[in-house]
Amino acid sequence: MKILFIGDGQLGQMLGASGISHGHECLLFSTRSNTVKPLSAQLDLSMSLAEAIAWADVVSWEHEDIPADIIAAAHDKFLMDPARIKSLTDRRAEKKLFDDCQVPTSPWQTYHNADELTKILQQAEQPLVLKAARGGYDGKGQWRFGVADEVAEVAAAAGQAPGIAEQMIAFEREVSLVGARSKDGSICCYPLITNVHERGILSYSLGAIDPVSDALQQQAEACFKRLTDALNYVGVLAIEFFVVEEQQQTKLLVNEIAPRVHNSGHWTMTGANSSQFDLHIRALTGMPLPLLRLTPTLMLNVIGAEQIPAGLWHHADTDCHWYNKEARPGRKVGHVNIRTANRDTAQQWVSQWAHKLQVLAD
């Protein structure tokens, strides 16, 4: 099949590479330079966006913020309603989806401006996390509010744009579920992944290491089914959860979803017979979803570093991925997947390498 991906960042490139390895032809459309980029050498380099859309059997994306003109021009090439998916880039619509689907999430309310936010903060009895409705990622566009904090100061900073105020959750840890839904509604999910963030940005993920209980996995997959059914979704989607202890029971609260392949699923390039990119391609092209065979894998993000040290390129247990992007503090420029026996050995790898691989922004 012929697949056009919107976006030419690392996710688009990894999707395209997987598509080609499954026998498909793939093009990427760069929304930054407005150019079509081929992944297969035989393809015409000078294709316009309109020509690429006409060429494609199916259009997919690396990021859900799909430009409106592409939604209009490629409408019949998407496998689901792209406008509905794009609407989820607004946290208010996303949270409403959680409520509509009755998946548990932290209590929230909206504000439109600093005045409305001031009222919310004055009445707050618990710490809050304030998130701009649009444009936030890697922890950007977020403010913390403790009940003893200065209301005016926080309201002035966070109230410049509409947003949501949600209860700060004292989570035990953070996990994500990455899975695919095919057109017929069948799903295929990896086991819950443990994620550790530093300053709001994903530092590392533990894939298929110390699996969670079956009950928790079932809870997560039930959320996945409900959300993806509601969206009539086809392809890979990730759900980020907080794990909380309530009345001696372990529960999941949905933090946010990513209707696309996700950084916390990168370990599957090493740790699974079928990676998250392969799963997405299979779902898009109507191939059967696979039975999964997994190897415990640590994924360490490379953030802001100039390069991956030679010792990691050289090691038999590592797979290094370099995105060929200019290094800036806080910017993801690569990741290293490490086959590892258990949580302790994973932790040793993290202690030894994270500070060499990660330069975070202030």
Interface contacts to ligand ATP, rule CB under 6 A: 106, 129, 136-140, 166, 168-169, 174, 197, 200, 240, 255-256
Query: Is 168 a known ligand-binding residue?
Result: yes
Return the CA Rg of the chain: 21
141: its two tokens: 């566009």
Spatial separation of the C-alpha atoms in residues 173 and 245, rounded to whole Å? 10
Under 8 Å between Cβ of 349 and 335 = no
The least distance separating ligand ATP from the CB of residue 136, rounded to whole angstroms, comes to 4
Instruction: Name the residue nearer to ligand ATP (CB basis): 106 or 217.
Output: 106
Residue 95 CB, nearest approach to ligand ATP (Å): 11
Q: Which of 203/275 has CB closer to ligand ATP?
A: 203
Question: In this complex, which beta carbon is closest to ligand ATP, that of residue 31 or of residue 182?
Answer: 31
Asked if residue 330 belongs to a known ligand binding site, the reply is no
Shortest spacing between CB 98 and Mg ion, in angstroms: 14
> Would you say 139 or 290 has its CB closer to ligand ATP?
139
The answer on whether 141 is annotated among ligand-binding residues is yes
HEC readout, 324-362: CCCCCCCCEEEEEEEECCCHHHHHHHHHHHHHHHECCCC
150 forms beta bridges with: none
Shortest distance in whole angstroms from residue 180 CB to Mg ion: 19
Q: Is 255 annotated as a binding residue?
A: yes
Least spacing, CB of residue 313 vs ligand ATP, in Å = 27
* Binding-site ranges for Mg ion (CB under 5 A): 240, 256
Which does residue 138 bind out of ligand ATP, Mg ion, none, counting CB within 5 to 8 angstroms by kind?
ligand ATP
Q: Is 91 a known ligand-binding residue? A: yes
Residue nearest to ligand ATP (CB): 169
Residues whose CB falls within 8 Å of the CB of residue 223, separated by 6 or more in sequence, listed in order: 101, 103, 177, 239, 241, 252, 254
Contact of residue 174 among ligand ATP, Mg ion, none (CB under 5-8 Å per partner type): ligand ATP
Instruction: DSSP for 39-92, please give it.
Output: SSTTS-TT--HHHHHHH-SEEEESSS---HHHHHHTGGGSSS-HHHHHHTTSHH
136 is in an annotated binding site: yes
Pairwise CA distance, residues 278 & 24, whole Å: 12
Residue 197 touches which member of Mg ion, ligand ATP, none, C-beta under 5-8 Å by kind: ligand ATP
Is 249 a known ligand-binding residue? no
Residue closer to ligand ATP, measured from CB, 10 or 318: 10
Nearer to Mg ion, 98 or 349 (CB): 98
Given a contact cutoff of 8 angstroms between Cβ atoms, the answer to whether 226 and 101 are in contact is: yes
Establish whether 332 is an annotated binding residue.
no
End-to-end CA distance of the chain: 45
Local structure of 133: helix, strand or coil: coil
Shortest CA distance to 299 belongs to which of 271, 324, 326, 274? 271
Residue closer to ligand ATP (CB basis): 205 or 270:
205
Q: Was 325 annotated as part of a binding site?
A: no
- Supply the minimum distance, in Å, between the C-beta of residue 265 and ligand ATP: 12
304 annotated as ligand-binding: no
Tokens matching residue 210? 């110390």
Backbone torsion region of residue 146, taken as left when φ is above 0, otherwise alpha when ψ lies between -120 and 50, otherwise beta: beta
Least distance to ligand ATP, CB of residue 39, Å: 26
Alpha carbon distance 237, 223 (integer Å):
12
Contact status, residue 186 vs residue 289, Cβ threshold 8 Å: yes
Report the residue number, 145 or 349, with the smaller CB distance to ligand ATP.
145
DSSP state of 140: T
- 16 close to 40: Cβ distance less than 8 angstroms: no
- Least separation in angstroms between residue 216's CB and ligand ATP is 18
**Which residue numbers belong to the known binding site?**
91, 131, 136-142, 166-169, 174, 197, 255-256
Known binding residues for ATP: 91, 131, 136-142, 166-169, 174, 197, 255-256
